Chains A and B, each alone.
Chain A
């Protein structure tokens, strides 16, 4: 890859202590993320993929190793710096959307917009995800797919350099899931941001520039997709 490195993980591991049990969720992992790539991290449940994503997103700290974002170390960052990192550089999309139930679709997006200095206009982003006409609806009044699209709108309104998606289609049916993937794909194409998708659905790997396969807390292999396939052509 000729693009510059956006994020670098050096021998990063994560061990959770649950009472008297120690769980090594991620073993020493080294990985570089290139600016502008669409990366898919595949793996079954317990493979450590979500842990990896959490570490990249700054919502968790590694037990060992170093993480660098745009050359600056994240691992030794203070709480305040991490918060700022998440605020400005990261957009997160979850499997179960995690929208604020007390806010309408537009308000959920506006919530994120208020955090940065130059956000995109709320309605423009809602238009992009195709939900402008539902802007005044609450999450409970939206379908799963619509909620996920609002979540994506919320994530991109901040114009983050890194968009992290944890099982974005996991709770959605086939058609809706493909629509969501389409959206993510287009975002990467249009905005040239970096998109990382974590999933257990191997079919999704086809749309990526690179696929990282994980097993038992380690990277099993990394493949480069010479010909990434647009989402509407994949099947599962």
Chain B
């Protein structure tokens, strides 16, 4: 079949541009498929293995203080394979230049083999069993890097009211610290200001004054065990020691963050490549059917010679397969680089052992198979008209294209005022409905992808505005190691730098409804306060109630609560006795980030049986950042942290910088898609209407006017595609946001008007380029050749 193969080669070389454009689309699809799927599979495999090897806890229990002996009692509970007791506390770290950081000091009982939530040593050396002199600790690698630490450096911390010195002997990671975040309120990890300090249990107990005691138990459940029964039993055992909180693995912060990321990645890796494959298939289908129409005569001749329909169909289908093949090969190379790139970015944020990376053969094979199958199917579908071609018929001249009146012409006023070139363009478009639909669809997808790429910028901007400008109007929030009396710190208001000061009392509680309970943090703030206001994710201000709770939607959904319901609230502060009260839900709030259950400062005090108590104060200063004030605050040992929204915002923006690269790549891909589609359909239109266009040239139309004619057609399709694509992009964005909304944060699809404008402009630019490349060929109309009479 070598002649047929040669014919195939000529098909390709006859229209290089089209072939390249098609290959480009397939290549992009394969690249994204491989890149994302590989990154996903590598990460989830890494996660799976890490969790397994280092025994990630199934359940975590926090208590005020319990004797170590309670661990063996818990292990005896049927369903528990292993329980590990430990001490964990957030303590201030004193850094150079009066800066403070927070370290989550976590004690590990030695030897660690067989325990739950084990550590994996990355650098340096392991704990000494019985050290002499300095207390050696391990820290997480991000904190290590962000603070420019070296092995042997000393960390000065404040524990149990006293200063202590710890020596950094290495770095380590653990399944529970893959994404180290202090609490759900933080937007992004700030490794400079928060890190994990891993220390032998005995020394932790010494430093924190927990001799022979623990405040946390992590367990490994047997497969198939009745989780709720086991949990109830353990909570019963821990009851006398002050149950503070208990949560399963899926609610563990680091795991939840990693899962959210993986889920988002999976969704994208499933849907995005499909877009490219389908577009490629649609265009190939259109190209091949047009090719067959123009080659009716040669096909008829081949059939007359004795070639079967199947052989001929196979020849045309192999064009599609060739596109898929070449596109796949290129896509594989790019996809592997993309996977490597993504893995590197992820490694910056997620502490997974460095098994990320490498080629996932099954993903590569799958992508090639998908692209070949899709291409082959498109080819076969498009070439099915070959069967109907009969040799004798084919060799007769083709009947002229039939013009048809369109619906638009019923609008006589408009139709009369249209010039002939508009009429030609409109009728031509509507005659080739399939091609028109494919082009418009392609533009719609391009616009959607552009919006998708750009709106993440808007969403972040909105988030920042909400968190930093609207909700938190203070310059510093100062937290205390334990609640103090507001009157004891009220004198800060008299400092010259302080313009305003307001109290905050945060109370961790269990909210109970019947048998069910959920842990929540109630933020007690001034009802008429200026420095902390509450907004929901749509930007509506919510009033902090004088009595009752403004409950976060997350908890309300979990417990099936609505405004007007009454709940039992039990404090789990860990200091002082547990107190219970009843509060009414006055409203439900869904903030963009963090938890958001609010009560009045007075209610918070009443809950704890206190008056004028604060866990933190908010300060508004003359200027957003004032070192003098910070230094003064850090000298007080009762101060655990001084946080500045300004610095948080800066950290967040830095985090977003890495995203910019992805956005730029996405914009480029979307643009190339639009370009390739428009180029292809323009070329097809041009080739089909060569004779027509030549007649126009003979009539006296200039080259510019002919180009204008073609531009009108593309223009109509582009405008229609954009008009449909913009709202479609919004819908797609909303769907995406809804799918990645987690307990940690939920954002509406915020798309600023200027983003629509930019998306439309970018689309027009890329489409314009594609069109221009195609139109360059109009200058090449050879009138004599095109109008040759058939003698």
Contacts and interface: CB of A to CB of B under 8 A. Distances in A.
Contacts of B399: 140
B784 A101 contact: no
A11 B789 CA distance: 26
Q: Is the interface of B mostly helix, strand, loop or mixed?
A: helix
A107 B702 CA distance: 19
A94 B789 contact: yes
A138 B700 CA distance: 22
A86 B698 contact: yes
Given A94-B789, A139-B403, A166-B789, A100 B700 contact: no
A86 B403 contact: no
B698 A92 contact: yes
A101 B399 CA distance: 11
Nearest to A91: B699
Interface in A71-110: 79-80, 83-84, 86-88, 90, 92, 94-96, 98-104, 107, 110
B424 A100 contact: yes
Contact of A102 (B423, B703, B790): B423
A101 B402 contact: yes
A45 B692 CA distance: 24
Contact of A57 (B431, B698, B790): B698
A59 B697 contact: yes
Interface string B419-434: 1100110011001000
Interface string A52-67: 0010010110000000
A103 B699 CA distance: 15
Given A54-B784, A57-B698, A167-B789, A103 B400 contact: no
Contacts of A99: 695
Contacts of A138: 402-404
Contacts of A102: 401, 403, 423-424, 427-428, 431
Interface in B388-409: 399-404
B695 A100 contact: yes
Interface stretch (A111-119, A177-185, A187-195): A111-119
B156 to A, nearest CB: 83
A104 to B, nearest CB: 7
A4 interface: no
Given A59-B783, A140-B399, A100 B692 contact: yes
Interface residues of A, number: 40
A131 B784 CA distance: 29
Interface in B407-456: 419-420, 423-424, 427-428, 431
Query: How big is the B interface, by class?
Result: 20 to 34
Nearest to A136: B405
B791 A101 contact: no
Given A54-B784, A140-B399, A166-B789, A101 B699 contact: no
Interface in B737-791: 783-784, 787, 789-791
Contacts of B404: 138
Contacts of A158: 700
Contacts of A114: 419-420
A102 B421 CA distance: 10
A101 B400 contact: yes
Nearest to B699: A112
A140 B401 contact: yes
A228 to B, nearest CB: 26
A170 interface: yes
B307 interface: no
B691 interface: yes
Nearest to A142: B400
A50 B789 contact: yes
Given A59-B783, A60-B783, A110-B420, A87 B700 contact: yes
A83 to B, nearest CB: 5
Contacts of B419: 114
A92 B699 contact: yes
Nearest to B783: A59
B698 A96 contact: no
A96 B428 contact: no
B538 to A, nearest CB: 50
Given A100-B424, A167-B789, A115 B783 contact: no
Nearest to B418: A107
A167 to B, nearest CB: 6
B702 A83 contact: yes
B701 interface: yes
Interface string B690-721: 01101111111111000000000000000000
A50 B424 CA distance: 29
A79 B783 contact: no
A155 to B, nearest CB: 9
Nearest to B790: A96
A138 B692 CA distance: 14
A100 B697 CA distance: 12
A140 B696 CA distance: 19
Contacts of A50: 789
- Which of A45, A100, A110 has the most CB atoms of chain B within a 10 A radius of its CB? A100
A140 B783 contact: no
Given A94-B695, A112-B699, 5 more contacts: A59-B698, A92-B698, A98-B694, A98-B698, A140-B399
By Cβ-Cβ distance, the 5 closest A-B pairs, closest first, are: A87-B700, A138-B403, A102-B427, A140-B402, A111-B420
18 contacts: A45-B791, A54-B783, A54-B784, A83-B702, A87-B700, A90-B700, A98-B787, A100-B692, A102-B424, A102-B431, A103-B420, A111-B424, A138-B402, A138-B404, A140-B399, A140-B402, A167-B789, A170-B789
